[in-house]
A and B are shown apart, each in its own frame.
Chain A
Amino acid sequence: MLRLGYDERAAALLVFPVVAVLLVVAAFPILYSFWISLHDVVLTRPLRRPFVGLDNYLRVFADERFWIAVARTTVYTVVTVAATTVLAVLVALLLNEAFPGQRLLNALLLLPWATPSVVNGLMWKWIYDPSYGLLNGLLVQLGVLERYRAWLGDPDLTLLLIANAAVWKQMPLAALLLIVTMKAIPEDLYRAAKVDGAGTFRRFLHVTLPALRPGLMLVLVYETMISIRHFDLFLIMTQGGPGDASFTLSWFIYVETFRSLRFGTGAALSYILAMATFLLSYLFIRFLGRRL
């Protein structure tokens, strides 16, 4: 039998309140929402909530909207994560150099990240506005466009435009994480590479990039988790439209849960999304992490 000493007992006592709070506010809701996902819970029919087992999951998989949402979410996540990562690497490379105004640029870089998500969404919605938007005004004045156009009303562009708004906000944090990683690269490696005759590009390819792997993995995992579950921009900018152009998984969950008030299928969808997020993160860590 395990016998705890005074220190262990004191530690357990001190940790207990936090564990209790976590059980109440995290573990219980997670388990309860799984329980709900096994029932046909429709809020507008409060007197019936039959146990349906995995029917909600099967119903979701059989729903054409689910596969539309999966496709939209995949496109959005790939575009957002790729653009964020590439831009963050470029910005990190720039800010890792010493030049006049570098500190100011460092501070300015953080502004988008510090902007609240709702403000970010509204700002970009106004920029894309078909009647008075900045983008239209700029492109018409530059002669690129003949007349104003409805950017977010074009289903071929909607996801990309929302992704652009997301990248604008998320890139600074990713760049910051990469700068921190870059600062840790020993200067000797660059000197040695120079001595060996490596140019700027080869130094980036053979010194910087391999050393950036831990930071890149962190950025990839974090950005994927954020993008795959992104909701606020879709709520503010397009409400899943036009048509189903921005009908992503998180939007589907919102519609099913808070508009159709089908909490059973909403919970099932949430679990599917959570599992997908977990699986992707696991794969990133498993395959990228092994090379670290």
Chain B
Amino acid sequence: MAGVLARRGLLAATGSAAALGAAGLGARAARAQAGGTVNFIGWSAAVDQVRAQISAFERATGIRVNYENFPWAQFRTALVTRLVGNAPIDVSWISDAWLPEFAEAGWLANIDDIPELMKYNAEAAEYCTQSMRYRGRQYGLAYYGDHMSFMVNAELLQRAGIPQPPATWDEVVQASLRIKQQGIAEYPLLLSLAADTWLIEFVSALVFSHGGRFVDERGEAVMADPARGAVRAARFLREAIHTHRIVSPGAVETAEINGLRAFGSGAHAFAIVPTYRIRALNDPSQSQAAGRIRLALMPKGGPEGTNETCGWIRFYGMTPGAKNDRARRERAARFIEFFGGRDTAGNYSMQKLLLTDLGLPFCTLPLNQDPEVQGFWTRWAGEGGGAVIAAQSARTRKKDVISPWFGEWVETANQAWQSVCLGRAEPEAAMRAAAAKWTELRRAFR
């Protein structure tokens, strides 16, 4: 009897628990139903941080988030096929490189008439805001903004008796030859020149620092112009690989992530690396060169050289499908504000989380005064590292080749740059080929 009672008690308890659970789930579902859903798609980066922020967003607003992510390498294609197929996407991460083609295709909605989002421009770096604008309209709020940095391994420089980081690319060559002659590093300058999505950013940094441009203000290709184009940078690359032998011939198969690992191994003295990698490079758990990597301004190349570098931003964009439906638009706007602006408590929590966890720089100016943020840069970029980043940010240009035909042109451009690196094409001829493709695509677009 006692056994029967005990079994009954257990059954009753289990039933009650199940009922309570179901009620709880039901209540959550009801809340979600009441709050609605935002469909958000991003690439497979910062996944833990995004999930954490989604949880905070759902708690604060009662709006549920369907979050999907795809690898960066396939993201553009995956997103385009979904947009063409009218998949129910409300918000997506967008690269500044895709903005013109997406806007022209009608896949992105401008946010000019959403004041609760536009108000954040007052607190954002101008460069970031400009990168989200196309034909005078703004298409989102920033996820993060970064630029290519010139980084040095201070220990290798010290061993070679080089007191200061070089200020020009000529000095980089001289310092590299010295390091090489002393047997400190076989290839002192590390460049990641694999034909992937990063290549245009690496070579743009070189072109800008050599005072060159790919296209002029009117959008005409000037990359093949020896006086103001990309030829000087291309020549520098070829000589660095084949004449001075300070860059490994393997650079053409070095992807950005592999370059990061190679620089972190301590085998190179100089590198061009996205700024956000400074955290990983100076983290002893991820890098053998930890504590020795320092930032310097991008060296100037030749008589027309500047300290300019190439920057980029990724942002939260809203689809027209979301914008044209009042309820979806409201939910999407709240989501974008929570992630790309301030959260419901009035903090730039996502931007701070991305910086402190991953080192991703932000576009939000007020955060620069945050002691935690300042402490972060001092910790990972060393004393004065934050100031170098700020100075470099002020000398950052967005890629001048961003256009509706960028995705197609960059295939030809990547091949041209690789041919130069392999010594298979003269810099002038390679840039002429890239310029011809640009002109052909530009004409076809009209």
Q: With the chains together, A152 CA to B265 CA distance in Å?
A: 21
Q: Quick check: is A242 within 8 A (CB to CB) of the other chain?
A: yes
Q: Mark B401-427, 1 if CB is under 8 A from A, else 0.
A: 000100110010011001101101100
Q: Quick check: is A45 within 8 A (CB to CB) of the other chain?
A: yes
Contact check, A152 vs B408: say whether CB atoms are below 8 A apart.
no
Contact check, A44 vs B250: say whether CB atoms are below 8 A apart.
no
Q: With the chains together, A107 CA to B425 CA distance in Å?
A: 48
Q: Mark A223-262, 1 if CB is under 8 A from B, else 0.
A: 0000000000000001111111101000000010011111
Q: Quick check: is B248 within 8 A (CB to CB) of the other chain?
A: yes
Contact check, A46 vs B106: say whether CB atoms are below 8 A apart.
yes
The answer, among B84, B104, B411, B418, for a CB contact under 8 Å with A242, is: B418
Q: Quick check: is B105 within 8 A (CB to CB) of the other chain?
A: yes
Q: Quick check: is B354 within 8 A (CB to CB) of the other chain?
A: no
A residues less than 8 Å from B196 (CB atoms): 239
Q: With the chains together, A195 CA to B167 CA distance in Å?
A: 85
Q: Quick check: is B155 within 8 A (CB to CB) of the other chain?
A: no
Contact check, B250 vs A241: say whether CB atoms are below 8 A apart.
no
Q: With the chains together, A252 CA to B445 CA distance in Å?
A: 22
Q: Mark B35-71, 1 if CB is under 8 A from A, else 0.
A: 0000000000000000000000000000000000000
Q: Quick check: is B223 within 8 A (CB to CB) of the other chain?
A: no
Q: Which residue, of B102, B253, B419, B422, has the highest number of chain A Cβ atoms within 10 A?
A: B253
Q: A244-B415, A258-B77 are in contact. Are A152 and B84 (CB under 8 A)?
A: no
Q: A150-B248, A255-B411 are in contact. Are A242 and B253 (CB under 8 A)?
A: yes
Identify whether the interface residues of B are mostly helix, strand, loop, or mixed: helix
Contact check, A242 vs B77: say whether CB atoms are below 8 A apart.
no
Contact check, A239 vs B419: say whether CB atoms are below 8 A apart.
no
Q: Which residue, of B81, B262, B407, has the highest number of chain A Cβ atoms within 10 A?
A: B407
Q: With the chains together, A155 CA to B250 CA distance in Å?
A: 11
Q: With the chains together, A178 CA to B414 CA distance in Å?
A: 44
Q: A44-B101, A44-B404 are in contact. Are A239 and B195 (CB under 8 A)?
A: yes
Q: Quick check: is B266 within 8 A (CB to CB) of the other chain?
A: no
Contact check, A43 vs B84: say whether CB atoms are below 8 A apart.
yes
Identify whether the interface residues of A are mostly helix, strand, loop, or mixed: loop
A residues less than 8 Å from B105 (CB atoms): 44-47
| Least CB distance, A153 to chain B, in whole angstroms | 5
Contact check, A152 vs B253: say whether CB atoms are below 8 A apart.
yes
Q: Quick check: is A131 within 8 A (CB to CB) of the other chain?
A: yes
Q: A150-B249, A152-B253, A241-B418 are in contact. Are A44 and B411 (CB under 8 A)?
A: no
A residues less than 8 Å from B388 (CB atoms): none
| Least CB distance, A268 to chain B, in whole angstroms | 16
B residues less than 8 Å from A244 (CB atoms): 415, 419
Q: With the chains together, A240 CA to B422 CA distance in Å?
A: 14
Contact check, B250 vs A261: say whether CB atoms are below 8 A apart.
no
Q: A259-B77, A259-B411, A261-B77 are in contact. Are A47 and B194 (CB under 8 A)?
A: no
Interface size on A, residues (CB 8 A): 29
Q: Mark A13-49, 1 if CB is under 8 A from B, else 0.
A: 0000000000000000000000000000001111100
Contact check, A45 vs B104: say whether CB atoms are below 8 A apart.
yes
Contact check, A241 vs B252: say whether CB atoms are below 8 A apart.
yes
Contact check, A131 vs B250: say whether CB atoms are below 8 A apart.
yes
Contact check, B80 vs A150: say whether CB atoms are below 8 A apart.
no
B residues less than 8 Å from A261 (CB atoms): 77, 80, 407-408
Q: With the chains together, A83 CA to B1 CA distance in Å?
A: 80
Q: Mark B89-107, 1 if CB is under 8 A from A, else 0.
A: 0000000000001101110
A residues less than 8 Å from B419 (CB atoms): 243-244
Q: A241-B195, A260-B408 are in contact. Are A44 and B253 (CB under 8 A)?
A: no
Q: A259-B407, A261-B77 are in contact. Are A147 and B194 (CB under 8 A)?
A: no
Q: With the chains together, A278 CA to B13 CA distance in Å?
A: 69
Q: With the chains together, A241 CA to B81 CA distance in Å?
A: 26
A residues less than 8 Å from B258 (CB atoms): 131
B residues less than 8 Å from A214 (CB atoms): none
Q: Quick check: is B400 within 8 A (CB to CB) of the other chain?
A: no
The answer, among A46, A131, A155, A243, for a CB contact under 8 Å with B262, is: A131
Q: Closest residue of chain B to A258, judged by CB?
A: B77
Q: A240-B195, A260-B407 are in contact. Are A150 and B253 (CB under 8 A)?
A: yes
Q: Quick check: is B186 within 8 A (CB to CB) of the other chain?
A: yes
| Least CB distance, B351 to chain A, in whole angstroms | 30
Q: With the chains together, A238 CA to B248 CA distance in Å?
A: 17
Given pairs A241-B195, A241-B414, 14 additional interface contacts (CB within 8 A): A45-B105, A46-B105, A46-B106, A131-B258, A152-B253, A153-B249, A155-B424, A239-B195, A241-B194, A241-B253, A242-B195, A242-B422, A243-B424, A259-B411
A/B interface sample: 20 pairs, CB < 8 A: A44-B80, A44-B104, A44-B105, A44-B404, A44-B407, A130-B250, A130-B254, A131-B250, A131-B265, A155-B422, A238-B253, A239-B194, A239-B196, A241-B195, A241-B414, A243-B252, A244-B419, A247-B415, A259-B411, A261-B80
